[in-house]
Amino acid sequence: MAGNQILKCACTVAGSDSGGGAGIQADVKTFSAAGLYGLSVLTAVTAQNTGGVLGVWTVPPEMVKLQMEAVSGEFPIGCIKSGMLGSSDIIRALSGCLPAGVPYVLDPVMISTSGCGLLPGEAVQDLVGLLLPRATVITPNIFEAQVLSGIEKISDLDLAREAGRRILGLGPEYVVMKGGHLDGDEAVDILMGHGKEWTCSGKRYPYDVHGSGCCFSAALAAFTASGDDIPVAFRKAKEFTAKAIGGALLSSSGVRIVNPDAAREKR
């Protein structure tokens, strides 16, 4: 911010994480750390901590529409990202109220880190048919990419590229194939466009981090909202998330939680 004027805004459409490590909470923390004003459209309330999801209550689709109307009617949104959507009805509602011309980062959240299903199987087709063609970039993890591409097991970078090509065929402008779940000394992420490819390699940490996927997609949205093109935003988001993982917080359960403050932009 400069004075009392909001300069740049990004919006997250996602579920809450009562433990604060993922979902809406992680997204808004990431926006703030990247120097943006964070807006939110809540799709679900979850009762969860790093050990698991105890319950999920989705928000009525009409309320999702009203929230989007409220934020888009006042704030200059530079990019929208979506995470957990939770149901076909919410996917349909979101597809009908995304502001035209605003870049859209789609994180196709299907299952929690602890293994809880967050998107019913019947909703996947709505995600594919309604949101992928609208997406500027989609950021599936390996397991989500397997569902979307139809490849049973993505075990190396060649298969990751093939999955990326298949997902691009579903309509998005770009897809990020994340290599965090693949073997290798480094974590290699691949940004694929139609006929173009960019790669970023980073340190592989010897632990999993709750909320890292949310942080990456939110950082990608934040840098896009700041005016970077997708390849530049991809590189910056990779670097940002690496710092947030490197500075992860250790919870009392022994699980590490992503820490966007460790990557906070100095301003």
DSSP line for 231-267: HHHHHHHHHHHHHHHHTPEEPTTS-EE--GGGGPPP-
264: in domain: no
| Residue 98, domain CATH | 3.40.1190.20
User: What is the pLDDT confidence band of residue 82, given thresholds at 50, 70 and 90?
Assistant: very high
267: in domain: no
262: in domain: no
51 vs 151, which has greater pLDDT? 151
**Is the Cα dihedral 146, 138, 107, 121 positive or negative?**
negative
256: in domain: no
Q: What is the number of structural domains in the chain?
A: 1
What digits encode the pLDDT tens for the residues 189-238?
999 998 899 999 877 787 888 999 999 999 999 999 999 999 999 999 99
Closest CA to 255 of 20, 4, 16, 7: 20
257: in domain: no
Q: pTM of the prediction? A: 0.93
241: in domain: yes
**Structural domain for 213, as ranges:** 9-246
3-state helix, strand, coil in the chain (%, to 5): 40, 25, 35
Alpha-carbon distance of 110 to 119, in angstroms, equals 5
Q: Mean pLDDT score of the chain, rounded to an integer?
A: 91
253: in domain: no
Beta carbons of 86 and 15 less than 8 angstroms apart = yes
86: in domain: yes
What digits encode the pLDDT tens for the residues 150-184?
999 998 889 999 999 999 999 999 999 987 666 66
